Amino acid sequence: MATTQPKPRDSWGSKLGFVMAAAGSAVGLGNIWKFPYTAGESGGGAFVLIYLFFVVFIGFSVMLTEFAIGRHTQKSAVGAFKSTDRRWTFVGLISLVSGLLIMGFYPVVGGWSIAYVYKIATGLIDAPATAGDTFTSFISNPIEPIIWMTMYLLLNILIVIKGISGGIEKAGKILMPTLFIILIIVSVKGLSLPGSGAGLGFLFTPDFSKVDSNVVLAALGQAFFSLSLATGCMVTYGSYLKKKESLVQTTGMVIAMDSGVALLAGIAMFPAMFALGVEPAAGPGLVFVVIPQLFAQMGGTIGFGLALLFFIGLSVAALTSSVSLLEVAVSYLIDEKGLTRMKAVVVSSLTMVVMCVFASLSLGGIGPTLFDTGVFDIFDLLTDKIFLSVCGMFICIFAGWRMNKEDLRNEITNYGKVPFRFFELWYTLVKYVIPFAIALVAFMGVKAGFDSGKGEIMALGVAFIGLTAFVSKKL
Ligand code: PHE
C-alpha cells in the first residue's frame, strides 16, 4: 500500500543513542549464550579466529552496506529494496522472514534468561550439583518456559510501543554500559581462579585440524547472527539515522563493541570452566549450567550477587536485540501495510508468540518435526546456517550490481564531507569478493550438512529463497 512517507521519519535523538541502539541490537544472546557454546563445540581457538576474520572482512562491509541502503532509501527492510527495483524485493522479504524466524526462538531463550534471574534469587545456586538437571527439566517443561517467554515478549512490546527515541534508545543507553561492567567483573573473577590459563589457551590457540566446512559455515553464521545482519535490522536502523552522521565510524564502533563483548563472554566463561573442570562442548545449556555452578563454587554473597548480575545482564542484552527484530516487523507493517504502530505491534508479537510456543514445546519433544528436527532447531538452523549468509550475499550483490556506485559513495562519505579511504576496497569486496566467498562457504556447508543429517533442512532453506525470488517479482 502506502510506500511514500507523508510525515518526516522518526529519527535517533543523538549519535550516541544510535550507536548504543545498534550495538544493543548486535550484542545479545548471540554473544553471551551462543558464541561460547558454539566456540566450545567447534573446537575453540581456530573457530574464534575464523569468526573474527569474517567479522572484520565480511561483517564490517555488510553492515556498512546495510546502513547505506537504509539511509539512502529512507525505507525499512522491504521498502528499501522494493523502492529501488521491484525484482529485488525478495532480498527484503528474506530478511524479514529471517528476522521473524529468529523471533520464533530468541524470546524462548530470553525467557530462560529472566527465569534464571528469578531462579538464582530464589536459591538455585545453593544446589550447584543439580544445575544441569535443573536446566534440562526446566526447558523441557511444557508450561513454565512458555510463561517466562510471554513475559519476555511483553517487555519487548512495552519498549517498541514507545517508538524510536522514546523507548529503544533510552533502554540501550542505560543498559549497554551496565552489561559491559558486569562482564568485566565476571571475567576478572574467573581469571583469578587457579588453572584458568588452560581456558584462555583453548579460546585463543588455534588448532586447525579441528576445522571443516561445518565449522567455517558456523563461524560465518555466527558473525551474521551476532552482528544482526541480513535481518533488516541494520537497514531499518540506518533509515532512522540522520544524514550528517558518519556511517563508517558508526559501523566500526558497533563491530568493535560486538566482538569485544563476545570475546569478553568467552573470557568470562572458559578460564573459569577449565579451572572448575567443566566440559567446553556443553551445548546450548552452557551458560545456564556453568554460570550457576561457577558462582556457587565462589560461594557467599559475592557468588550469589555476581550470578544474579550476570543473568540480569544477559536478559538486558537479549532485550535490546529482540526489540530491534520486533521493530523490523513493526516498521514493515507501518511503512508497507499502513498499520498504526499499535496494531503493527499486536500483529507481529502475536505471530511471534505462536512460533515461540511451538519452539519451546519442541525442546520437550512435543510438536511437529521435520527430518527429525524440532521447531526450535529448525528456526535456528535455517537462519544461522542459510538465510542470514545467503541473504547477506544478495545484499552485497544488490549494492554492487544494482545500486549506483556514486550514490553509495555519496551516502557513505556524506557527499564528500567524511572521507572514507577504503571506499574502493569496500566496494570491490562487496561487489565481487564477499558474494563469491559466501556462495562457496554456504555450498560447502550444505554439502557437509548432509553428513550430519541437517542437509535436507538447509537445502529446503535454499529452495525457499529461490522460490521467494521467483514469486516476489510478481508482488
Ligand atoms: N545480534 C543479536 C545477538 O547477538 C541477535 C540478532 C540477530 C538480533 C539478528 C537482531 C537481528 O543476540
pLDDT reported for residue 474: 67
24 Cα–ligand 1 center, Å: 9
* Ordered DSSP codes for 281-339: T-GGGHHHHHHHHHHHHH-HHHHHHHHHHHHHHHHHHHHHHHHHHHHHHHHHHHHHH--
Q: Which three cell numbers stand for residue 170?
A: 533510552
3-state secondary structure of 373: strand
CA angle 319, 99, 346 (to 5 degrees): 70
Which residue, among 4, 14, 5, 15, has the nearest Cα to 249 in the 3D structure?
15
30 Cα–ligand 1 center, Å: 6
Query: CA-CA distance, 302 to 437, in Å (whole number)?
Result: 47
Query: CA-CA distance, 153 to 322, in Å (whole number)?
Result: 9
The whole-number average pLDDT for the span 99-107 is: 97
Query: CA-CA distance, 69 to 434, in Å (whole number)?
Result: 17
Contacts of 420 (CB under 8 A, 6+ apart): 248, 412, 413, 426
pLDDT confidence tier of residue 1, bands split at 50, 70 and 90: very low
Look at ligand 1, atom 9, and give the residue with the nearest C-alpha. Answer: 228
The whole-number average pLDDT for the span 177-188 is: 81
pLDDT confidence tier of residue 8, bands split at 50, 70 and 90: low
pLDDT reported for residue 159: 83
Lowest mean pLDDT among 51-65, 155-169, 307-321, 358-372: 155-169
Query: CA-CA distance, 234 to 62, in Å (whole number)?
Result: 10
Task: Round the average pLDDT of the chain to a whole number and report it.
Answer: 89
pLDDT reported for residue 170: 67
Each residue's pLDDT tens digit, 353-367: 999 999 999 999 999
276 Cα–ligand 1 center, Å: 30
CB 331 within 8 A of CB 76: yes
Lowest mean pLDDT among 31-35, 228-232, 398-402, 466-470: 466-470
Ligand 1 atom closest to the CA of 317, numbered from 1: 12
One-letter amino acid at 422 equals F
Which of 324, 326, 328, 382 has most ligand 1 atoms within 8 Å of CB, for mutation?
324
317 Cα–ligand 1 center, Å: 10
pLDDT reported for residue 13: 66
Each residue's pLDDT tens digit, 436-464: 999 999 999 898 888 888 889 999 999 99
Each residue's pLDDT tens digit, 237-286: 898 888 888 999 999 999 999 999 999 999 988 998 888 777 777 788 88
pLDDT reported for residue 281: 72
- In 3-state terms the chain splits into helix, strand, coil percentages (rounded to 5) of 80, 0, 20
3-state secondary structure of 370: strand
Each residue's pLDDT tens digit, 123-142: 888 887 778 888 999 999 99
Q: Kindly list the structural domains of the chain, giving each domain's residue range(s) and its CATH number in brackets, ordered by start.
A: 15-474 (1.10.4160.10)
Q: Where are the alpha helices (DSSP H) in 338-420?
A: 341-362, 375-381, 388-397, 405-413
The full length of the chain comes to 475
120 vs 159 pLDDT, higher one: 120
Look at ligand 1, atom 11, and give the residue with the nearest C-alpha. Answer: 228
Enumerate long-range contacts of 423-432, CB under 8 Å, 24 or more apart: 426/61, 426/64, 427/400, 429/57, 429/58, 429/61, 430/61, 430/62, 430/65, 430/396, 430/399, 430/400, 431/396, 431/399, 431/400, 431/401, 432/400
The whole-number average pLDDT for the span 415-419 is: 93
pLDDT reported for residue 274: 86
360 vs 372 pLDDT, higher one: 360
Give the count of alpha carbons within 13 A of 330, CB side only: 23
The whole-number average pLDDT for the span 8-22 is: 72
Look at ligand 1, atom 7, and give the residue with the nearest C-alpha. Answer: 228
Query: CA-CA distance, 319 to 156, in Å (whole number)?
Result: 7
In sign, the C-alpha dihedral spanning 193, 194, 195, 200 is: positive
Question: Does residue 10 surpass a pLDDT of 70?
Answer: no
Query: CA-CA distance, 341 to 333, in Å (whole number)?
Result: 8
Query: CA-CA distance, 399 to 467, in Å (whole number)?
Result: 21
Lowest mean pLDDT among 63-67, 162-166, 209-213: 162-166
Which residue, among 181, 363, 204, 369, has the nearest Cα to 285 in the 3D structure?
363
470 Cα–ligand 1 center, Å: 28
Pairing type for strands 369-370 and 373-374 reads antiparallel
State the residue for C-alpha cell 533502554: 171
pLDDT reported for residue 299: 74
Helix (H) / strand (E) containing 133: helix 131-140
Pocket of ligand 1 (CB under 6 A): 25-26, 28-31, 102, 225-226, 228, 231, 233, 321, 324-325
344 Cα–ligand 1 center, Å: 21
Ligand 1 atom closest to the CA of 35, numbered from 1: 4
27 Cα–ligand 1 center, Å: 7
pLDDT reported for residue 436: 97
The whole-number average pLDDT for the span 86-99 is: 94
One-letter amino acid at 128 equals P
pLDDT reported for residue 168: 59
pLDDT confidence tier of residue 213, bands split at 50, 70 and 90: very high
Helix H, strand E, coil C: the string for 63-96 is HHHHHHHHHHHCCCHHHHHHHHCHHHHHHHHHHH
pLDDT confidence tier of residue 9, bands split at 50, 70 and 90: low
CB 217 within 8 A of CB 442: yes
pLDDT confidence tier of residue 194, bands split at 50, 70 and 90: confident
Ligand 1 atom closest to the CA of 258, numbered from 1: 4
Query: CA-CA distance, 172 to 24, in Å (whole number)?
Result: 6
3-state secondary structure of 135: helix
The whole-number average pLDDT for the span 316-336 is: 90
pLDDT reported for residue 4: 44
Which residue, among 279, 288, 272, 275, has the nearest Cα to 130 in the 3D structure?
288
pLDDT confidence tier of residue 316, bands split at 50, 70 and 90: confident
Dihedral pair phi/psi, residue 226, rounded to 5°: -65, -35
Query: CA-CA distance, 218 to 444, in Å (whole number)?
Result: 11
Query: CA-CA distance, 227 to 374, in Å (whole number)?
Result: 26
* Ordered DSSP codes for 161-182: HT-IIIIIHHHHHHHHHHHHHH
The whole-number average pLDDT for the span 152-158 is: 92
